[in-house]
Structure 1
Amino acid sequence: MNKTALAILISSVVGLTACSSSQNNGDFSAQLRVLETSDIHANVMDYDYYQSKNDITIGLARTATVLHNARAEVANTILVDNGDLIQGSPMGDYVASEFNKGNEFTTHPAHKAMNLLDYEVGNIGNHEFNYGLDFLEKAIAGAEFPYINANVYCLADCWQGKKEGENLFTPYLIKKTNIIDSNGKQRTINIGYIGFVPPQILQWDKQNLEGKVSVKGIIESAQKFIPEMKANGADIIIAIPHSGIGSSENPGDVNAENATYSLTTVAGIDAIMFGHSHSVFPSKQFAGVPNVDIENGLINGVPAVMPGRWGDNLGVIDLALQYSDNKWTVSSAKSESRPIFKRNEARKKVALVEADKDIHNAVKVEHAATLDFVNAPIGKATSDMFSYLTLVQDDPTVQIVSNAQLQYAKDQVASSQGESLKALPVLSAAAPFKAGGRHSAASDVDSYVQVASGDLTYKNAADLYLYPNTVVALKVTGAELKDWLECSANQFNQIDANSTAPQHLINWKDHRTYNFDVIDGVSYKIDVTQANKFDGSCALKNADSERIVGLTYTDQSGKAISGKALMAQEFIVVTNNYRAFGGKFAGTGAEYVVMEQPDTNRDVLAAYISAETAANGAVDPSADNNWDFLDINSSVALDIRFETQDSMTADSFIKTYAQRSMTKLPEQDDLGFAVYQIDLKAKK
């Protein structure tokens, strides 16, 4: 039966019979364990395709073992997935690549694995839309469990006969579930599930979704459907937002990307299984958030869990249920995230579980095909491309992406764009995608680009460019360009030039590394002694602050443009669809777009590597050092620190390529990162 129709049927039947069960007589109690996976990102195998080796820190195959153990401990369990499932690893890219060639799959390998684990329901994440709606429809059709989402609506040409204004997916489910009470007797409970995705999918995947779907806010959708679920017989309601914890200061933002904190204020929700931001909750990272109990995993008294990313944790919520006066209530709750590995006293990674061999066997064909896919040769590189220093100096892993985008954009503008654009300087914006993750979990210490010199394969291009973005170009003024960089500079904390105390340079808390855009084609310096002009969302904080100094464009004749002349100059900036349509940074948004190409940035990068290798024997990724920090004028000894990977490879790379004096400190931080002091008073 069509899964959407089946889901609607289940909801309707439960709504009619919710109060008619004869199994729930008298007063009694029961325990229910709710389990969650989230942000698997097609990491089914415990394998690092970028480094061609097994990896004990990732993979649904290992999460499954934690899951089996958690189920064995209690009588009643249910399992949900939060989304961001089908994209994010070379296996996901391989399946999408074959689909685009017309080689359709029967069941996506992620679902081959999940179909072995007895999921109740799956939620739709934002990355589910990355390969287009046709691919998504095909993918979820292979799941032996239903999918839900309450805030995406059909506009036109929707699947399964959906009409304009209807929910694209089943908004919620209410499933009659048998459980065993504390006396060993079987009872029934009607469990409601509702899912959400960030409204920003219309910006992030504009080329796949424009004119096809509309999206409403997470909170307004919850406020619409939660009462309806109660009226239709839901005894308890489990919300599954693909959304981070969000703001405790502005919980009323209807368009918030991260809205879990706000969801805890919506009456009727009994537990929240969330994700999206790749963090682990509960954890000490969230200790300072108002009304958050990290010991019991509660937000405003509501149990909640977020299990990291790539399968490194399993989310667990234990609900103590009470049945009295003909209704179920949650009397107490506690949540935790259970990891698949830990670090021992020597900070070495130690596996806590072995992989589930049934999952290995389920995807062995796709695993072998993925290995062939990623090991296809594309060229050679003259030097190593490691991202250990990408947050503190210009870097080859970002430089090679910019070089590829610049060459591609110049060719496109010269061959197919109007005369007014051909006269404009072309710049490139690129950011580090793998630079310590989000510095929130022990597994983040491995999240660095590690592409050695010599022969390059497609897996190296995928390591350098993690996402299946497409190439988009914008027309911006120099003034907009400067504010774009001002927001990017929010990556750094403000440094007190008169303090001798340790000061951490990287703003891990409020700025994602993939939002640290470096713009090539201009030169500039960043004055970290100044306050940030914008916050991590590019909202204005300090109008008079100026971190970007010396911004200069030099044309082919050697003429330098800066100051007021540069502010008035128009540029073409080539970037990706995520940035271009996001509208967050100055100069971005649909109104600035002048070129939108179907080619992915990763394929453009691979083609550039091949072309450079054919022409020159190898590609040279050396950083041109077009940006740097402004030297700090201080009369005191400054102790400025940054975090990066702790490895012999990182040590050697930093010793060879550091543009400033950097000193490694003897102790790692709590997550296992190496900590370095960096001299910002003078260049080497």
Structure 2
Amino acid sequence: MLKTKTLAIVIASALGITGCATNDKSTDVYVELRILETSDLHSNIMDYDYYRSQYDPTIGLTRTASLIRQHGAEVPNVVLVDNGDLLQGSPMGDYVANNFKQNKSIGDTHPVYKAMNKLGYSVGNIGNHEFNYGLDFLAESLAGAHFPYINANVLCKTDCWNGKAEGDNLFTPYLIEAKKVIDSNGNEQTINIGYIGFVPPQITIWDKQNLSGKVTVMGIVESAEKFVPQMKAEGADIIVAIPHSGVGTPTNPVNVTDEDATYALSLVDGIDAIAFGHSHSIFPSATFKDLANADIEKGTINGVASVMPGRWGDHLGVIDLTLQMQNGTWVVKDSGAKSAPIFKDGPLVKADSIVRQAVADEHQATLDFVDQPLGKASANMFSFLTLVQDDPSVQIVADAQIAKVKANLTADLKGLPVLSAASPFKAGGRHNTTSDAESYVQVNAGNLTYKNAADLYLYPNSMVAVKITGAELKDWLECSANQFNQISANSSEPQYLINWDTHRTYNFDVIDGVTYKIDVTQPVKFNDDCKLVNKDANRIVGLTYTDGENVISGEQFAMQEFIVATNNYRAFGGKFAGTGEKYVVMELPDSNREALTQYIASETNTNGQVDPRADNNWDFVTINSTTPLDIRFETNNSATADRFIMENQLRKLTKRTDLTDKFDFAIYNIDLTTEPSDK
């Protein structure tokens, strides 16, 4: 099926065919259909930042709802879909999940559905984070939705719901809606709109503790090729794919295990529009200007209208289709897409009062929940410098993970060094929206509450430990070091240090308990998927472990075994060296955030406060160069950040007042040619 559409696109491009012109008399009757999409709301219903206790006009379904009403009122024929990742990701989601854990019930309708039920959704798709709290939580939550759900690639294995047998789709794989529409002549018509949804196959890895033995997952393209012909046979006039999946790549578009498969779906015959998500990016946008066969101005991939509306409600996806009747069949004659923002240089819409009121009680309950006291910290925990030096917001997580794993070591593991892999979850987001410039941990010294712990550890991951060798640990760090662009020691041109394009900050693992430096003048050894690309490259140097009086390095380090505390996503992912199921030696029922809250409370009870100050176990290799280097990085642009950076910088950092980052980040120069201070 893929080859047919690919060939058609090539021929059309060669002949200059646009697909918009026809001499068929049926062009006298057409229908304009608008598809609106929300995605990756992550329980951000309110336009409120619970970590900073203030309203935030850059996020929230309450703001997106105003766009939904605005864009819906512009045309006569509208449908609204959601792409998933609803139930996790904000303190409001944590509040509901905690209530479920304590009472074995979410109680009333989940607040995400209290809000969404006010907006007239046609259908919702299941995202990977829907599985974070288990199938029982998911089933009870979905029961509150006043609209149907679809997913085509998750299959029941055992112990499923609603009498599902092994091999059955766990959810309804697709839906065909008989949509009443008004045509260009003002007459009522019926168009059968088919919706089909997908989730990344990796859910069985990411949520192994919730899904192991219960479900299996088909590939995204594999399941599309199975069900799209069925949908057509059952009378679907058009098919809207709703993959919870990023763009992917044209170079290998049909790998059955692809997490990001939207590009591949655009080549599947029969799919007319794609409302996608998962990677929190915005399509169409300049970010994808080099994507093959993508029309950024029009909003298409391989000629298929496609949209991805960011995250947390910061954008609304808008797809417009022009449908014409030809020989008794509705055909897409023209299409386009855009992502509409709720904020640009200021709020573009007001909050929707109906949606706000729908979750007013849960909003207040969330405020009470996050203000529960935990303990006290001796220093600020801000992540403004987390990508350029060791950082307190990551240090405290590392310390908590080590303490938790040490307390649970079995007899056969005792005696092995315990390390921790932790990464910054809030360090500038993905550097592709203005709201990303505010995505930094900001926890002040002094009394700590649950919202501070949620700010420090964003996700409900569970504690897992792996046993690895020093050689595997080094390669783990080599892949992590892909966070940095290669710096030339002989160029005076501006060079940006942070690799925002291919490496997410949550993949920048700092392994605590060892010391090492990163040589950014070296090429990367692994790419962003941890695939070997330069076998002779070595960015990680000076890697040592100190055991009392003994310093272990070199070949002795390579052969040494270590226990590394991490989370279930990393441990079972198999992406980084030393990860994958065969390396796992400990699975704890506690979430990483629970381990963190327990550590804060314990340290406060024992010592009066917890000390989060970074131990500076990693640094960059100082560059020996006679060329003046202009190395830059981006971070938060605020007086708080300025003050923290001034007081805590280890290397000389200079804010550029002459430059403006397009997403409102501050730009700093970092001096990598002189040794850091001893702070």
Normalising by structure 2, we get a TM-score of 0.95
Deviations, residues 364-409 of structure 1 (Å, cap 9, x unaligned) = 1111111111000001111110000000100000000000111111
- Residues of 1 paired with 2:182 and 2:435: CA distance? 37
- Which residue type is aligned with residue 376 of structure 2? K
User: Within 5 Å, which residues of 2 pair with 1:231-242?
Assistant: 231-242=233-244
Deviations, residues 442-462 of structure 1 (Å, cap 9, x unaligned) = 111111000011111000000
Counterpart of 2:181?
179
Counterpart of 1:82?
83
- Residues of 1 paired with 2:49 and 2:70: CA distance? 25
Q: How many residues align?
A: 650
Counterpart of 1:3?
none
Q: 1:622 to 1:26 in 2, by over 3 A?
A: closer
- Residues of 1 paired with 2:646 and 2:675: CA distance? 15
- Residues of 1 paired with 2:291 and 2:225: CA distance? 24
User: Within 5 Å, which residues of 2 pair with 1:230-629?
Assistant: 230-343=232-345, 350-413=346-409, 417-418=410-411, 420-555=412-547, 557-629=548-620
- Which residue type is aligned with residue 434 of structure 2? A
- Residues of 1 paired with 2:106 and 2:280: CA distance? 30
- Residues of 1 paired with 2:244 and 2:538: CA distance? 35
Residues 525 and 549 in structure 1, CA contact (< 8 A), matched pair in contact too: yes
Counterpart of 1:671?
663
3-state SS of paired residue (1:159): coil
3-state SS of paired residue (1:161): coil
Counterpart of 2:31?
30
Deviation at 1:621, TM superposition (A): 0.5
- Residues of 2 paired with 1:502 and 1:104: CA distance? 53
3-state SS of paired residue (2:622): coil
3-state SS of paired residue (2:191): strand
Deviation at 1:106, TM superposition (A): 2.9
Counterpart of 1:42?
43
Residues 388 and 435 in structure 1, CA contact (< 8 A), matched pair in contact too: yes
3-state SS of paired residue (1:573): strand
Residues 28 and 324 in structure 1, CA contact (< 8 A), matched pair in contact too: no
Indicate yes or no: 2:163 matched with 1:161.
yes
Residues 400 and 599 in structure 2, CA contact (< 8 A), matched pair in contact too: yes
Indicate yes or no: 2:678 matched with 1:682.
no
3-state SS of paired residue (2:344): strand
Counterpart of 1:16?
none
- Residues of 1 paired with 2:377 and 2:415: CA distance? 32
Residues 394 and 422 in structure 2, CA contact (< 8 A), matched pair in contact too: yes
| Structure 1 vs Structure 2 CA RMSD | 1.1
Deviations, residues 413-444 of structure 1 (Å, cap 9, x unaligned) = 1xxx12x3101110000000000000011111
- Residues of 2 paired with 1:215 and 1:682: CA distance? 52
Indicate yes or no: 2:641 matched with 1:639.
no
Deviations, residues 38-60 of structure 1 (Å, cap 9, x unaligned) = 00000000000000100000100
- Residues of 1 paired with 2:393 and 2:193: CA distance? 48
Deviation at 1:26, TM superposition (A): 9.6
- Which residue type is aligned with residue 353 of structure 1? V
Deviation at 1:151, TM superposition (A): 0.4
Moved more, 597-606 or 250-259: 250-259
- Residues of 2 paired with 1:558 and 1:638: CA distance? 39
Residues 27 and 324 in structure 1, CA contact (< 8 A), matched pair in contact too: no
Residues 106 and 141 in structure 2, CA contact (< 8 A), matched pair in contact too: no
- Residues of 2 paired with 1:659 and 1:186: CA distance? 69
3-state SS of paired residue (1:406): helix
Q: Structure 1 stretches of 5 or more lacking a match?
A: 1-24, 344-349
Q: 1:257 to 1:26 in 2, by over 3 A?
A: closer
User: Within 5 Å, which residues of 2 pair with 1:161-240?
Assistant: 161-240=163-242
3-state SS of paired residue (1:164): coil
- Which residue type is aligned with residue 402 of structure 1? A
3-state SS of paired residue (2:408): helix
Deviation at 1:683, TM superposition (A): 2.2
Q: Structure 2 stretches of 5 or more lacking a match?
A: 1-25
- Residues of 1 paired with 2:602 and 2:106: CA distance? 31
Counterpart of 1:12?
none
- Residues of 2 paired with 1:105 and 1:34: CA distance? 33
Normalising by structure 1, we get a TM-score of 0.94
- Residues of 1 paired with 2:29 and 2:357: CA distance? 43
Deviations, residues 105-160 of structure 1 (Å, cap 9, x unaligned) = 23110000000000000000000000000000001111000000000000000000
User: Within 5 Å, which residues of 2 pair with 1:113-124?
Assistant: 113-124=115-126
Deviation at 1:681, TM superposition (A): 1.0
Deviations, residues 242-268 of structure 1 (Å, cap 9, x unaligned) = 001111221122211101011111111
User: Within 5 Å, which residues of 2 pair with 1:115-154?
Assistant: 115-154=117-156
Deviations, residues 284-331 of structure 1 (Å, cap 9, x unaligned) = 111111111110101111100000000001000111110121001111
Deviation at 1:85, TM superposition (A): 0.5
- Which residue type is aligned with residue 667 of structure 2? V
Deviation at 1:275, TM superposition (A): 0.3
- Residues of 2 paired with 1:27 and 1:329: CA distance? 13
3-state SS of paired residue (2:527): coil
- Residues of 2 paired with 1:246 and 1:676: CA distance? 32
Residues 457 and 593 in structure 2, CA contact (< 8 A), matched pair in contact too: yes
Counterpart of 2:92?
91
- Which residue type is aligned with residue 639 of structure 2? M
- Which residue type is aligned with residue 495 of structure 2? Q
3-state SS of paired residue (2:590): strand
- Residues of 1 paired with 2:382 and 2:248: CA distance? 32
Counterpart of 1:111?
113
3-state SS of paired residue (1:388): coil
Counterpart of 1:54?
55
Residues 27 and 325 in structure 1, CA contact (< 8 A), matched pair in contact too: no
Residues 27 and 324 in structure 2, CA contact (< 8 A), matched pair in contact too: no
Residues 524 and 548 in structure 1, CA contact (< 8 A), matched pair in contact too: yes
Deviations, residues 574-599 of structure 1 (Å, cap 9, x unaligned) = 00011001110000011101110000
Residues 84 and 130 in structure 2, CA contact (< 8 A), matched pair in contact too: yes
- Residues of 2 paired with 1:683 and 1:449: CA distance? 27
Deviations, residues 342-375 of structure 1 (Å, cap 9, x unaligned) = 11xxxxxx11111111111111111111111100
